[in-house]
Structure 1
C-alpha cells in the first residue's frame, strides 16, 4: 500500500529560535519550534510555520559594574534583510478598530550559514497606517492588553494570513496556548457558512492539535473574559460560547485542550503530570507523551559527528572544542579557564525552579574545589524582564563568579550562540531542576550528542535516556517532597566529588566510553526528525481520522 501523503500542517508558535541573528525567540519553546521547522525541511514534510516579526525581540541583558542586571530593548530592523514580503496584508479588529497585519516570509535558506528550514510566515503590525504598531514590538509583552493583542495577531491573523496566501492547512498545530484564538477564528468562519456553534466547534477540532509545555497550573495563561471582550478576542462568539470553550476566567490551556482533537506533553514524565493537572477538563482529548528532540545538524559539531561515525577517539576532538569554548569565554568575559580541569556547563533560563545556585548550597563542601580550580563552572542565563526573582538568581551567580574568579564564570545575555558553544565544549552538563517542573529540557540532549555527559535530576527527558554508569549520572532519586533541595544537593556533592571528578581525572578510558554511549543513546532517539514522525503518526493522523 502506498504511504498516505502527510497533511499540510500550519505550526503556530509565539517564538522561533532558528539562528541567533534572528531575535524571534526567548528560550526553549522557540528553539524547539525552530528545530522542528528544520527537521521538516530535511525530510520534505509539508509544514509552514506561523509566528510574529518582533521589532525588539525579547530582551538583551547585561551586567553593570555593580553586578546588577540591566535590560535593553534595541530595535532589530536588520532582520528584514533576511525576509521577503509575502505580498499580502490581513486585518484584525483589536479594541474596536482595524489593525493591519503585514505578512513576511523567511526564505528556507535564510539566514545564510544556518541549516535550512520549512517556510516561516511572520506577522507584523509595524505598518505606518496603524495606530497600534506597538503590538509586535516586544516578545511576551509586559501588560495584559499587549499580550492579548499579540495572541489575536498570532491566532486570528495567522489563520487569515494562511488563507490569503492560498495555504489552507489540513492541520493547525498550536505549540502552547498562545495560538488558541486561531481556533476561535475557525469556529467563527464555520458559523458564517451556516453551521451551528456546536457544528463549527467540532469541525475546528478535527483540524487542531495542541502541545502543552508548562507543568505547573499557575504557569498556564488565563485572561478575564471582560478583557477579552474589550480587546475583541470574542471575534463573533458570545460570552456563553467563550465560557464553554475556556471557562471563566478564560484559560488558554483549557481552551486549547477543548479545541483540539489530539494533545501531547513533551516527555513521558510531563505527559503523566499534564494528565493529572488537566484530568477535570471536560471535552479534552487524552494527553499523550511525545518527548521533544533536537535538530542534530544544528547542535552537533560536525567534527564530533565524523569522529563518532568513524569510531575514532573522541577525546582529541572534545578537547579542541573545549579550547574553542575557553577562548570564546575569555573574549566575552576576560576570564581564562583551565583546559585540563573539569568544566561544568549550566546555561538556561533564569527561573527559580531550575535551581541554578543549588551547587553552592553547602559552600564548605564545594568551596575548596572551586578555590583550587579542580572544578570549574560556566553559567549563563536570562530572566524575564518582570521577574525580579530571576534577576536575583543571575546576580547571585555573578557574585559567585566574583568570589571564585578563576573557576566560576557567568556569560551574560544568554542566546543560541552561548548554548551552542557550551553544549559542545563543556565536560559535564549540569541540570538540577526541582522535579517534576522541567517539562523536557532539550539542552541536555544538545550536550549529549556532542559527548558532553549529563549530570541531572531525573526530570524531563533524562529518565527516558539515563543508564546508570553508562551515559551520565543522576542527581537524587526522584524525591519530590519537603526538603528536596537539601536532599538533591547532598546527592549532587556525593556523585560529583565521589565519582565524576575521579573519573575525569583518573579514568580517561571510562570517560570516553561514556561519551560515545551518550551520543549513541541520544542522537537518533531524541532527534527533531523522530518527533516530527511521531507527530505525523500519532497527532496529525489522529486529527485526520
Structure 2
C-alpha cells in the first residue's frame, strides 16, 4: 500500500505491514462530529498515536451529515436532541464517486480524505451518500450515526464495509490487514470472499476488535432482511450459512467477524476472559487475545499538570488544578446558573448515559446523598454529563430526572454537550472521577485513564480496565462490589452504601485534612497510567500482537 503517492503520508520503514482500519466512529477532534462515545474515543487516540509513530495505517469511516446529535436544552431546561447539518471545509474532496449495491439498487458513494496534517492523525477516508447522484432515501444512509431504522443501519454497514473495501481497490491500495473495529464493519469480508473465493485467504488478511461483553449488545439481524438489503454482496443466505457453519434465522455480526478473522482482541484483560467464555461454544471462532484500551496523552493531558507532577512541584500542581477548575466552572455557571468554588472537592460523573453505568447510584439513598452534599465540614461539588442514545427514552428520562432532583442544590450541576472538548475540561477540572457501572458490564472504559492524566483520582468499581491499574488507597479508591448472589436492586443498595462510606470516611477527610497524602495518590495514579495506558503502547501492541 503506497501511501506517499495518494496522500503524502510516508510510514516509517519498520512498519512493513499495511493496515486498513474500519470503524463507524472516529473521535479525532471536536470539530469533526464522527463519533458517539468510547468506541470513537479509542479509534481517535489510536489514529493519533499511529500518526505520531508513522505507522502504516489508514482509517476508513463515514462522514455523518448530522453527526451523532447535538445535545441541547429545551424550554423546560431538560435535555433535547438536535440534528444539525455539519459542514467541514478542512476535508479534501478526492473526486472519487463509485457505487455500492444496497437493496439490489446502486447507491453512489463519495470519498473524502482527512489529511494527516489537519489534526495530527493517520489519514482517514470518510464516505458519504449525501450527494445529488442519489435519491433522498439513499442520501439519508450517511445522515445519522446509529440511525434508529434497522434497514438504514444495515445500509450504513454496507457502505462502511463493502464501500470501504471497494475504495481501497479504486485507490490501488492493497492492505495486508483489514482491521474491523467492532462488528459494524463485518461486511468487507463478503467483498473479499468474492475476490478470493476462499475463507482461508480472508483469514490471512482480517483481524477484529470486539467491544461488547453482553450477548444482547452484539448486533444481529435476520438473514432474510440482510439478503434483501444486499449485505452479503454476491452470496446467497444458504452459501453464507455453509461457508461459516451458521444455523438459525439470525446473523450475529460479532460471531461472524470472529469466524472470518485470523485473530481477534478484547479490550481489557477481564473482557478477554468474558469474550472467550461468551463465544467458546461456537465452531470456527478465532483466537481472542486482550489488548487493553488506552488514550493519547498528547491530546488529553494538560501539559502543566504533567510537568508539575514530573518536577515534584506540589504547589504548582495545586494552583494549576484550581485554574482548570475555574475554566470548567465557567461552563457550569453558563449552563446552570450555579457558581462553584475552586477550593471545594469536585466529583465528576461523565460518560455515555446507559442504564448499566448507573449515573444516579450516588442518589440511591437520598437522605445519605443530601448529607453528603450538605456537609459543612467537608463540602463537595458534583457534576454529571454524558450523552444517552437519542432513542433511549429511559436514559434520557434519567438524565432529566437528575436535572430535576438537583435543581435546588447549588453545588450540583448537570451539563449538556458532552463531546471531546467538554470531556477534556471535565477531566482537567475533576478532583474525583466517579465510575460505578454494574460489574462485568464494562468491556474496558477509558475515561478514568484520561482523568488520571490530569490529576484526578479515580473512585471506581473494579470492572473493565480498572483491575489492571488499581491499587486501592494508593492510586485510586475502589468501591467493593456486592456479591453476585444478590439481586440487582440489592447490589445497587449495597454498592451505594459502600460508595458513600468511602467518600465520607476516606476521600473527603484525606482531601481536606491530609493534602500531602492526596497529592501522593494523584502522583501515583499519574505514574501508573503513563505509559501503560497511553495509546502509543496500544498502537504498538496492535502491530505486534494482532497485525504482524
What does 1:464-543 correspond to in 2, within 5 Å?
A: 464-477=468-481, 479-482=483-486, 483-541=490-548
Q: Deviations over 1:99-121 (max 9, x none)?
A: 111110011122xxx5x000000
- Distance in structure 1 (CA, Å) of the matches to 2:158 and 2:125: 16
2:138 matches 1:137: no
Listed as ranges, the matches of 1:43-82 within 5 Å are 43-77=53-87, 79=88, 81-82=89-90
| Equivalent position to 1:102, from 95, 107, 110 | 110
Instruction: Work out whether residues 372 and 504 of structure 2, in 8 Å CA contact, stay in contact via their aligned partners in 1.
Output: no
Distance of 2:319 and 2:149 partners within structure 1: 50
Which runs of 4 or more aligned residues in structure 1 lie more than 4 Å from their structure 2 counterparts after TM superposition? none
Contact 1:216/1:437, CA 8 A, preserved across alignment: yes
* 8 A Cα contact 2:266 2:292, kept in partner: yes
TM-score where L is the length of structure 1: 0.94
Q: Quote how far apart the aligned CAs of 1:90 are.
A: 2.1
Match for residue 196 of structure 1? none
Partner deviation per Cα, 1:236-274 (whole Å, 9 max, x = no partner): 112122224365311000000001001111011111111
Q: Which residue of 1 aligns with 2:241?
A: 243
| C-alpha distance in structure 2 between counterparts of 1:133 and 1:439, whole Å | 34
Provide the C-alpha distance between the structure 1 equivalents of 2:483 and 2:190, rounded to a whole number of angstroms.
41
SS in 1 for 2:374: helix
Residue number in structure 1 paired with 2:3:
none
Q: Which residue of 2 aligns with 1:197?
A: none
Cα drift, residue 325 of structure 1: 1.5
Q: Which residue number corresponds to residue 304 of structure 1? A: 305
Distance change in 2, residues 1:180/1:123 (3 Å): same
Structure 1: segments with no counterpart, 5+ residues:
192-199
Contact kept? 1:85, 1:103, Cα under 8 Å: yes
Preserved contact between residue 266 and residue 290 of structure 2 (Cα < 8 Å)? yes
Alignment partner of 2:183 out of 163, 170, 177 = 177
The residue aligned with 1:124 is 128
Shift of 1:136: 0.5
**Superposition deviation, residue 418 in structure 1:** 1.3
- Tell me which residue corresponds to 1:195: none
Higher deviation after alignment, 466-475 or 321-330: 321-330
Hey, what's the Cα distance between the residues in 1 that align with 2:271 and 2:406?
A: 33
Taking the aligned partners of 1:47 and 1:242, their CA distance within structure 2 comes to: 30
Aligned pair 1:456/2:460, yes or no? yes
Q: Aligned to 1:532, what secondary structure does the other structure show? A: helix
Deviation digits for residues 474-531 of structure 1, max 9, x if unmatched? 0114644422211211110111100000001101100111111111000200011101
Structure-2 change in CA distance of 1:5 and 1:63 (3 Å):
closer
Taking the TM superposition and a 5 Å limit, the aligned residue runs for 1:17-416 are 17-77=27-87, 79=88, 81-110=89-118, 114=119, 116-131=120-135, 132-191=138-197, 200-244=198-242, 245=244, 247=247, 248-313=249-314, 314-372=317-375, 374-404=379-409, 406-416=410-420
Q: What secondary structure sits across from 1:536 in the alignment?
A: helix
Deviates more, 1:250-259 or 1:361-370: 361-370
Q: Give the TM-score normalised by structure 2.
A: 0.93
What is the alpha-carbon distance in structure 2 between the residues aligned to residue 332 and residue 206 of structure 1? 52
In the alignment, which of 24, 29, 36 is matched to residue 14 of structure 1? 24
Give the paired residue count. Answer: 525
Deviation, structure 1 residue 312: 1.7
Is the 1:13–1:50 contact (alpha carbons within 8 Å) kept by the matching residues of 2?
A: yes
Match of 1:446 in 2: 450
2:130 and 2:38 map into 1 onto residues whose CA distance is 26
Cα deviation for residue 309 of structure 1 reads: 2.5
